[in-house]
Structure 1
Amino acid sequence: MQLQQLSYFVAVAEVRHFTQAAELLRVAQPSLSKQIRALESELGASLFSRARGNITLTPAGEALLPLAKRILADVDTARLEVQELAGLRRGRVRLGATPSLCAGLLGDVLRRFHDAYPGIRILVEESGSRDLVKDLTRGSLDLALVILPLHGDPPLDSAPILREHLVVASPAGAEARAGRDPAQVPRRSYLRISDLRDRPLVMFRSGYDLREATIGACRAAGFEPRFAVEGGEMDAVLRFVEAGLGVAVVPSMVLAGRPRLRGTPLVLSEAGEDERSAATGPPHGPGLLRTVALAHRKDVDLTHAARAFQDTLETFLVEAALAGSLPPGVETLVPHV
């Protein structure tokens, strides 16, 4: 049984004339009659009575007509829903992002995307980069904002979109309140990795790239970091720092809206002791940076909705860079077209 045969059957049943039905459908009458006979053969019953030139439905035809109309209506509904999906009136985007991005610029990007495509559902998974890579590989996410490099060579395509400067978060105004720096931070506008030796650190849980980056930088400088507290998510880590439990290495963007915290630029080299303001960056040597990429599986084409989100994100980053409105310590890697 074919949809075309059902369509022909319904047309004849409605007009009760083979020639007129063929004209309405813009097909040749012999072709229409042939398809009706094929349908009757498939069903094993006559659908029309053709006595004396009058076309009427047989009991089998009467039984089939409402079912055929329902089937054809469902097909039209399916076709419409697919067309709406292609036109981005419906759909879903499953997006993964690191906590720093969720707390930073992602909210503005999601606002813009929702305004442009209000019918698209947005499902956000907040987690560490390594966990997001696993979710992408398993197919439980469409897109994810992850940290490069990707470990383990997962089957993903990734495009760098921004670079973040990492800073040392510490309680704001601690020196003035206590007459000293409780985290024992040297009195200059930047820090070196070696300055974190023997300082209590508030550390993220396993699976966070920030944990790996901080531990790796400390070991490269010749020491093992000392943890005051470990195992937290981003909000918990920042709150523990506010409480004076220790300092933490975090992206600068997460400190926006947290007046109780200050961020001190971090440099990797030992060179340079001259004073410069934190706004102009570290005095010498490279800062501790991380690169954020938008990733998806290589073997799965992006949906229309996911591709629209990618375009929205890239456009937002370019426009924000041109307007100078990116969060402090963030620079876009999306090419300016």
Structure 2
Amino acid sequence: MDLRQLEHFVTVADEMHFTRAAERLFISQSGLSASIRALEKELAAELFIRNTRRMELTDAGRALLEESRRTLASAAAARDAVAAVRGLHRGTLRVGTEQCLGVVDVAAELARFHQAHPGVELSVQQAGSAHLVEEVRLGRLDIAFVAEPAQPPEDVSFLRLASEPMMLICHPEHPLAGREQIEWAALAGAAFVDFHPSWGSRRTTDRGFAAAGLSRAVASEVNDVHTLLDLVGRGLGLAVVPGPIARKKAHKLSVVALPADAPRWDVAIARPDTATTLAAAEFLAPIRKRFKA
């Protein structure tokens, strides 16, 4: 059994699909299948239940998965320990971010790190916070800039950078435009534009409406900040968004404060509870100092 076999096994377990796992690992599907079969033979146990419709882990597979994650994390930490002695000249930093967080300029931070450590390969993924947190949990990302979830997973820790209110935005001619603050009841029955459910902003908004005992109709669901702002600007719905997004078109849209009990936009850095890589630690050090996180 070697580390490469464990990496193959963990990737297949994450994807539950040999073709997708092979694509992620940049190897042939036949080569991946052979690696898994060899591992099963060495352990004298089947790791996956395979049928024509789906795959799932066996009891032996579930037991091996947790230990494999720990072993791979320990191996990465060992490589980092050696790299720390020699200096950070190579390696990979995998960073995730949700769009328009506003609190931190992720692109500028990446540029700063790249200038200081040009030999480290950077990989960036932009997606909703829920997806990014799961990527961190599964070990596919080293860190991610996200909206902190209300119920964080046990094996991911969060460094909060900032907290600010969510805001309502609407067309300047909407009946709610011009108000300083509204109550939840004023939003009953309104049509909304919002992001995909995996976005932190969407989850924060949904949590607020649920706590207020209100249902709402999301007429338009988008995956891009600028599209959301354009739809609201054309009078096609209201939107509840973080302050950084509301301020992007404050000169064209009406921005209204939500009730005092509305959930806040908490921006945080998600990282695994296991050892942080040397590259991630170097990347985070000036950010943590600046935000006192």
* Aligned AA (1:302): T
Unaligned runs of 5+ residues in structure 1 are 1-78, 175-180, 269-284, 319-333
- CA distance in 2 between counterparts of 1:128 and 1:85 reads 36
- CA distance in 1 between counterparts of 2:224 and 2:248 reads 18
Q: Which residue number corresponds to residue 310 of structure 1? A: 284
Q: Deviation of residue 133 (structure 1)?
A: 1.5
Work out whether 1:291 is the aligned partner of 2:278.
no
- CA distance in 1 between counterparts of 2:94 and 2:142 reads 5
**Cα–Cα, structure 1 residues 305 and 104, in superposed 2: closer, same or farther, change >3 Å?**
closer
Unaligned runs of 5+ residues in structure 2 are 1-78
The Cα offsets for residues 158-177 of structure 1, whole Å up to 9 and x where unpaired, read as 22222132111234xx3xxx
The Cα offsets for residues 127-182 of structure 1, whole Å up to 9 and x where unpaired, read as 111111211121110011233335363411222222132111234xx3xxxxxx23
Q: Deviation of residue 289 (structure 1)?
A: 0.8
- CA distance in 2 between counterparts of 1:154 and 1:146 reads 16
Q: Is the 8 A contact 1:148 1:293 kept in 2?
A: yes
Work out whether 1:187 is the aligned partner of 2:161.
no
For residue 99 of structure 1, give the secondary structure of its aligned residue in structure 2.
coil
- CA distance in 2 between counterparts of 1:286 and 1:258 reads 25
Work out whether 1:157 is the aligned partner of 2:132.
no
* Bigger relative CO (Cα 8 Å, ≥ 6 apart): 2
Match of residue 232, structure 2, among 211, 233, 241: 241
> Percent of aligned positions with the same letter in both sequences?
26
- CA distance in 1 between counterparts of 2:163 and 2:145 reads 12
Q: Deviation of residue 221 (structure 1)?
A: 2.4
**Which of structure 1's runs of 4+ aligned residues deviate more than 6 A?**
none
Work out whether 1:101 is the aligned partner of 2:101.
yes
**Cα–Cα, structure 1 residues 90 and 84, in superposed 2: closer, same or farther, change >3 Å?**
farther
Q: Is the 8 A contact 2:207 2:263 kept in 1?
A: no
Give TM-score, length-normalised by structure 2: 0.62
1:96-175 map, 5 Å = 96-101=96-101, 105-149=105-149, 151=151, 153-171=153-171, 174=172
Give TM-score, length-normalised by structure 1: 0.55
The Cα offsets for residues 56-113 of structure 1, whole Å up to 9 and x where unpaired, read as xxxxxxxxxxxxxxxxxxxxxxx9xx65895223332101111122796323323333
* Aligned AA (2:215): E
Q: CA RMSD in A?
A: 2.9
Q: Is the 8 A contact 1:104 1:253 kept in 2?
A: no
Q: Is the 8 A contact 1:143 1:306 kept in 2?
A: yes
For residue 164 of structure 1, give the secondary structure of its aligned residue in structure 2.
strand
Which has the higher Rg, Structure 1 or Structure 2? Answer: 1
